[in-house]
Amino acid sequence: MKKTIRQNKLFFSFLIKFLLFYVVFTFVYKIYLTQYNAENKELDFFTEIVANQAKQLMLLFHDDIQFIKHDKEASFKIIFKEKFVARVIEGCNAISIMILFSAFVFAFATQWKKTMLYIGIGVFLIHILNIIRIALLSFALYYYPKYEAFLHGTIFPLFIYGVVFILWVLWVTKFSGYVKRITAK
């Protein structure tokens, strides 16, 4: 057992750091969410910001956009040309993706300053892309409603997770110093 751990020290180090970061920040996020009561249709602050920013982006392209607080659940209804096309719920804020992204980057950290900078830039980029995703998805659902499952369940998650994967690859191969550390051994 000790030999296996010693031989796979880098893997176990990655795994422990990844899980520790992911569990801690997911727990902190869940605690943050407990201050909002979904039964009273309360939407968390960050989701409201994301919805408002998506609305502002959509208004750049068309003025017949409304985001209305849902009267039956904790969400915003997106109305485009007087047609309900989508809703923004807590899961639309991309926080869980940001935590996953950050945990992976943290697990490959070699320098704190560079790691925190990369996490900050990556989280900001994910946030911006998520706002674009919500706006594009809302427009797409208006024009192509029969493709809702494909657009929402495949195309747009692929878009966000594809960018996250590229950011991870760049982090490991270009910025983290991890490859240099491995090849030096």
Q: What is the pLDDT of residues 52-62, one digit of tens each?
A: 999 999 999 99
Provide mean pLDDT across the span 57-69: 95
CB-count exposure of residue 82 (10 Å: 0-12, 13-18, 19+): exposed
User: pLDDT band for position 181 (50/70/90)?
Assistant: low
- Quick: pLDDT tens for 84-123: 999 999 999 999 999 999 999 999 888 899 999 999 999 9
- Per the listing, tokens 């869980």 go with 96
Instruction: Annotate 104-156 with DSSP letters as a single string.
Output: HHHHT-S-HHHHHHHHHHHHHHHHHHHHHHHHHHHHHHHH-GGGHHHIIIIIH
Going by C-alpha positions, the residue among 158, 149, 60, 51 that lies closest to residue 140 is: 149
Structure tokens at 47: 């989701």
Decide which of 137 and 183 is more confident.
Answer: 137
Closest CA to 136 of 82, 61, 76: 61
* Predicted local confidence at residue 180, as pLDDT: 58
This prediction has a pTM of 0.90
Percent of the chain with pLDDT over 90: 78
Q: Which residue has the higher pLDDT, 38 or 43?
A: 43
178 pLDDT tier (thresholds 50, 70, 90): low
**How far is 166 from 110, CA to CA, in rounded Å?**
19
Question: Is the distance from CB of 48 to CB of 134 less than 8 angstroms?
Answer: no
Provide the pairing of β-strand 65-69 with 76-80: antiparallel
Mean pLDDT of the chain: 91
Indicate if the pLDDT at residue 50 is higher than 90.
yes
